[in-house]
Structure 1
């Protein structure tokens, strides 16, 4: 397992803060209140371990196939419904939304191989990620992929805690399924807007893994 490059600064700052807190506790708290000093040490170390785990990149065998769509992130499927596209597409699309908790791996991956047609950042609000309007009102980054004449849009959506979206793609890029497309820090969701005739192979509340779970075929 590796640590994602987006976490280097956060992890460094966290280590410095934890070290300072524990040194101050050691000299000024523990001598008079040893139990309290131990509690502070345990809590800060647990928080540091959490931050380290948040930026983890576990080793996985990614799915392969020409007509499949894989999950772009780890999380839970919370929406499968037909919607009117609010961006790029003028027609109705099949929306699949995946909620990412702070405990999930937060690397985002390309759901298909193909060409990037569109890549656009949108500033916005920070509603909780499961709020229906988070898809259209929150900070987000949208990417459109084209494969064999078919197109899909993927939105990285910030949540109440996630306030930094990273996306590495630009129009004209040729990408491979399962490779990194970006990263979202601290809880969020990812929406996919797919053609209406897409065959969906997942269900509501199903747990999925980025680059591994097959969401459907198109």
Structure 2
């Protein structure tokens, strides 16, 4: 590893969505310090955690239309057949669902699981149950994207959690996204579900740790050849 790589891995960029929160934590730490040194250090630790939470590292993404990569950092919490949310318009038949649970220490920048054109985005209000519960898919606040990929329609659903109160999505219907490209962010603990055609061959299992934009979740036409890698900034 070169010195440049070491510096890049140590000082990870912070996403612009996080700066207002980091500033607020920092101001609070200073104000608390006027009353207690101990409270100042607690506030400083929380400020550092906030900066860590909103980190936005570069990722090396496999560029291959056969692959589906993880849209989030976290633990694979569910894998199996499930009916996609009704508002996405994907019908009532079961698709393959892969759920990635993010805790408060995960990087929360979300990335496109496949290359394609966004044909639909739907937001639904709901509850704020713990995102690792299976019923959170149906009952929690969520924002779903449907992507027209070379292998059919693929959906990525951002789901708010027990602590998360804000889902951010900065893409719009009609635009094209590349695999591993950033499309949104969820603040403070949450989950992302990916819905795939049943023809996709699974490449992960429950309990596995996933890295957004890098970990391969599933593969179409698995017999076809090698995969080049590219860095996604």
Q: After TM superposition, is the score higher than 0.5?
A: yes
Distance 1:14 1:79 in 2: 34
Map of 1:89 onto structure 2: 90
CA shift at 1:118, angstroms?
0.5
Give unmatched runs, 5+ long, in structure 1. Answer: 26-36
Indicate which of 14, 35, 41 corresponds to 1:24.
35
Structure 1 position 160 matched with structure 2 position 159: no
Q: Is the counterpart of residue 121 in structure 1 residue 132 in structure 2?
A: no
Cross-structure match for 1:217? 219
Equivalent residue, structure 1, for 2:113: 111
Residues 172, 202 of structure 1: alpha-carbon distance in 2 compared, 3 angstrom cutoff: same
Counterpart residue number, 2:15: 4
Conserved 8 A contact 2:15-2:56: yes
- Is residue 2:49 matched to residue 1:50? yes
User: Which stretch has the larger CA shift, 79-88 or 96-105?
Assistant: 79-88
2:80 partner SS: strand
Report what 1:137 is aligned to.
139
Q: Which structure 2 segments of 5+ residues have no match?
A: 1-11, 221-233
Counterpart of 2:226 in structure 1 is none
Equivalent-residue separation in structure 2 for 1:189 and 1:122 (angstroms): 15
Match of 1:193 among 189, 192, 195: 195
**Contact (CA 8 Å) 2:109, 2:182: kept in 1 or not?**
yes
Partner of 1:70: 69
Q: Deviations over 1:152-199 (max 9, x none)?
A: 111000001000000112211111111111000000000011111111
Counterpart CA distance in 2 for 1:112 and 1:95 is: 14
Q: Helix, strand or coil for the counterpart of 1:81?
A: strand
- Give distance in 2, aligned partners of 1:83 and 1:89: 12
Kindly state the Cα deviation for residue 65 of structure 1 after the two structures are TM-superposed.
Answer: 1.2
Q: In 1, Cα distance between the equivalents of 2:44 and 2:173?
A: 42
Q: After TM superposition, give the deviation of residue 42 of structure 1 in Å.
A: 2.6
TM-score with structure 2 length normalisation? 0.85
The aligned length equals 206
Deviation at 1:149, TM superposition (A): 5.3
1:13 paired residue number: 24
Deviations 1:194-214 (A, max 9, x none): 111111101110000000111
For the Cα contact (< 8 Å) 2:65–2:150, is it kept in 1? no
Other-structure match for 1:100: 102
Runs of 4+ in 1 over 6 A off after TM superposition: none
